[in-house]
Amino acid sequence: MLAYIPSPSEGVWHLGPLPLRAYALGIIIGALVAIWIGERRFQARGGRAGLIGDVAIWAIPFGIVGARLYHVATDPELYFGADRSAIDALFIWKGGLGIWGAIAGGALGALIACRRYGVPLWSVADAVAPGLLVAQAIGRIGNYFNQELFGKPTDLPWALKIAPENRPAGYLNVETFHPTFLYELLWNLAAAALIIAIDRRLKLTHGRAFALYVMFYTAGRVWIEALRIDTVNHLGPFRLNVWTSIIVFVLGLVLFVVATRRARRSGMSDEPVEPTDPVEPATPESSEAWRSRGAPTRSGCRRPRAPRRDGGLAAPCRVRGDGRPGVELRAHDGRRGWQPGLRHEARRARRAGRPRRRRVLHGGGGVHVGRQPA
């Protein structure tokens, strides 16, 4: 019975002249799984089918470029200097992608895509947060095939055996090491399951699911980095990635607190909302009754306000130019003004020539979301 985990003999297979690398396969499969998870979660929140895939077309290339730039910037001695070739910085299939650069680059690409498609960035980030952890877990399998990023020597039953040519200097006589790739893989899967469970119970919005992703991942990265022995830059007593994890964890915590306060204060979701009730056409009676109450204007309406449940007053939505009122879909307190998503939905509706939903702020603080009849 083996008392260790054997390492694969090779991580590259050739299909004729085409090399098939386990590291690249891990990234591709992880990205596809993340898109699938994000699509299901985004649609469950009322989003458009296919949007996560559209955003991924922007986010993935930006993420790969950002990951490579971070790696080269933090380990320049591997590519610049004596006996080094700067062109090697382009060979990403040999390994060397920094997760922090991937997150930053991917976020930039996602932001550009969200602005182009007219959706809130945080609604997309919350939808894909668990999928990102699953993708990172799958990507760690590539480190296993490359026999890299392992930890300190150990004789535990799940120790990883490393070939002599892949052992760092000073450990040539040591055969088994901590499989830190496996630790991070299991940690990420557990964190993804926990985020999904919390989201089902609390309905995480406004970036809170993404903030949990950041905090869970960085918390695990701190203790995993403490086990690794690969050559990296240090800042004081800790590795550079440990300091980065601590800083990013604090930023994630701040984001979670701010997002939670914003969600409680607004009392509304930032998720895209699709109407579930059919739009009722305006009838001659309702139009005549509307006109009898006072001629409407473009700046507002003169219809008497109806009492709200919270004791305030809510006026109906802005009317069409012919004086007919729109049809109410839902109403809530409007202290936060425009709800993200509805603004962009109205823009998309105008382009598609569909009836659009509207929100109008009134003097009494009431907010009404409505739709103009066709």
pLDDT digits (tens, 9 = 90+) for 39-56: 999 999 888 899 999 999
268-280 average pLDDT score: 46
Q: Confirm whether 1 is domain-assigned.
A: no
pLDDT digits (tens, 9 = 90+) for 327-349: 333 333 343 343 444 445 556 66
The most confident of the ranges 72-86, 138-152, 266-280 is 138-152
Q: Confirm whether 273 is domain-assigned.
A: no
101-124 average pLDDT score: 91
Structural domain total, the chain: 2
Considering the domain architecture, whether residues 203 and 316 belong to the same structural domain is answered as no
Considering the domain architecture, whether residues 45 and 117 belong to the same structural domain is answered as yes
pLDDT digits (tens, 9 = 90+) for 231-267: 777 787 888 889 989 999 999 999 999 999 888 887 6
pLDDT digits (tens, 9 = 90+) for 154-206: 999 999 999 988 888 888 889 999 999 999 999 999 999 999 999 999 888 89
Q: Confirm whether 352 is domain-assigned.
A: yes
Residue in this structure with the two tokens 């290339």, named with its chain if needed: 61
Residue in this structure with the two tokens 């802005």, named with its chain if needed: 318
Q: Confirm whether 272 is domain-assigned.
A: no
Considering the domain architecture, whether residues 182 and 301 belong to the same structural domain is answered as no
Which pairs with CB-CB distance under 8 Å and at least 24 residues apart come from 271-274?
271/45, 271/46, 271/47, 271/120, 271/123, 271/205, 271/341, 272/45, 272/46, 272/47, 272/48, 272/119, 272/120, 272/123, 272/341, 272/344, 272/345, 273/46, 273/339, 273/341, 273/342, 273/345, 274/46
Considering the domain architecture, whether residues 189 and 301 belong to the same structural domain is answered as no
Say what the pLDDT of residue 108 is. Answer: 94
Q: Confirm whether 277 is domain-assigned.
A: no
Considering the domain architecture, whether residues 74 and 106 belong to the same structural domain is answered as yes
Q: Confirm whether 6 is domain-assigned.
A: no
Q: What percentage of the chain carries pLDDT values higher than 70?
A: 70
Q: Domain containing 227: what range?
A: 12-266
Considering the domain architecture, whether residues 334 and 360 belong to the same structural domain is answered as yes
Residue 207 DSSP code: T
